[in-house]
Amino acid sequence: MITVDVTTDTLRPALAEAEQALSDLTPLLQDIGELMVERTKGNFKTGTAPDGTAWAPRSQATLDAYAARGDTPKGGPLVGVTRALSTTIAYEVAPGHVDWGSNMIYAAVMQFGAAQGQFGTTSRGASIPWGDIPARPFVGIGPEGESAILKTIEDYLQDLIDD
């Protein structure tokens, strides 16, 4: 906690404005949310995790399943025919933090991976999932994301100073 006792009429309004601007970080968190949504969408374009490592390629079984259905994926791993996962990235600001990701039911499995049968079996006895799914992290903060967030914070603070 910092306490500043100001006795000049010139500084008092400026400090009060700074205190107000920093007490509600919603605009800054919205900026960070928008930034990270765009960076996350970029991960789908490059087929890489936030730290820049490449995602595992699709398995031959997955490629065969696409072929059997007559489907053609629209991009690399995690970008299927509908592109649902890559197009449902959004953010939400709450007091003091911002969350981003996808509301697709299978998003966590794509992020963290899953072992064959990890979720049990179907009524016919088939494993859920039917094969191992490698982790393909698409949400997170890598070194470049961290730098981008720091720049966003600096810009926000500079805008407060300039106003």
3-state secondary structure 106-135: CHHHHHHCECCCCCCECCCCCECCCCCECC
pLDDT in tens, 20-67: 777 889 999 999 999 999 999 999 999 999 999 999 999 888 888 889
In this predicted structure, the answer to whether residue 158 has a pLDDT above a threshold of 80 is yes
For the ranges 6-20, 42-56, 63-77, the one whose mean pLDDT is highest: 42-56
Q: How far is it, in rounded angstroms, from Cα 39 to Cα 45?
A: 10
pLDDT in tens, 130-151: 889 999 999 999 999 999 999 9
Average pLDDT score over the chain: 88
pTM of the model: 0.82
